[in-house]
């Protein structure tokens, strides 16, 4: 707390072809946001999952909104298990729950959690992680 380090180093793996802001999709609500507005959860190669606030860790990652509702849904629906192809341990779940508790319940975002006008379904906002049938 209070100890926020700002590192401006760029990760070398960034693709240079895209000038636009990279976007990622929340694995729960499927909303697409600039990568930095989402929180990355990474499966470590040695096992376990961590919350990767820097976006720099190696490993298979999944993105969630910075809002508790998405994290709760993710835990409830085992969305991370699917996305990361991992079985979360009780410890992992506890870590995620603790983190979720520190987030605002919902972001103030008209695109999320509000009912849309009827007839404006759009299905084109998927998806970087496919749902998997068990
Ligand atoms: Zn979300």
Give the chain's mean pLDDT: 80
Calculate the alpha carbon distances from 103 to 16, 43, 49 in Å: 32, 21, 18
Ligand 1 (ion): residues with CB under 5 Å are 26, 28-29, 65, 70
Task: With beta carbons less than 8 A apart as the criterion, state whether 43 and 86 touch.
Answer: yes
What is the CA(30)–ligand 1 centre distance, in A? 6
- The helix or strand, by DSSP H or E, that contains position 72, with its residue range, turns out to be helix 68-76
Query: What confidence tens digit (pLDDT) does each residue in 50-81 have?
Result: 999 988 899 999 999 999 999 999 999 999 99
What is the CA(73)–ligand 1 centre distance, in A? 9
Task: With beta carbons less than 8 A apart as the criterion, state whether 75 and 97 touch.
Answer: yes
Domain boundaries, the chain: 23-101
- The helix or strand, by DSSP H or E, that contains position 123, with its residue range, turns out to be none
Q: Which CATH number fits domain 23-101: 3.30.1230.10, 3.40.50.720, 3.40.920.10, 3.60.20.10?
A: 3.30.1230.10
Mean pLDDT across 90-119: 78
How much is the pTM? 0.66
């Amino acid at each position: 707390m209070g100890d926020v380090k700002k590192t401006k180093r760029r990760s070398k793996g960034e693709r240079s072809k895209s000038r636009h802001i990279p976007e990622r999709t929340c694995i729960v609500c499927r909303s697409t946001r600039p990568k930095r507005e989402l929180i990355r959860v990474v499966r470590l190669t040695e096992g376990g999952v961590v919350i990767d606030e820097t976006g720099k860790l190696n490993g298979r990652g999944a993105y969630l909104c910075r809002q508790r509702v998405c994290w709760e849904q993710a835990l409830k629906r085992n969305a991370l298990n699917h996305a990361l192809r991992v079985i979360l341990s009780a410890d992992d779940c506890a870590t995620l729950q603790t983190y979720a508790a520190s987030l605002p319940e919902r972001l103030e975002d008209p695109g999320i959690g509000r009912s849309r006008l009827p007839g404006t379904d759009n299905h084109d906002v998927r998806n970087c992680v496919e749902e998997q049938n068990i």
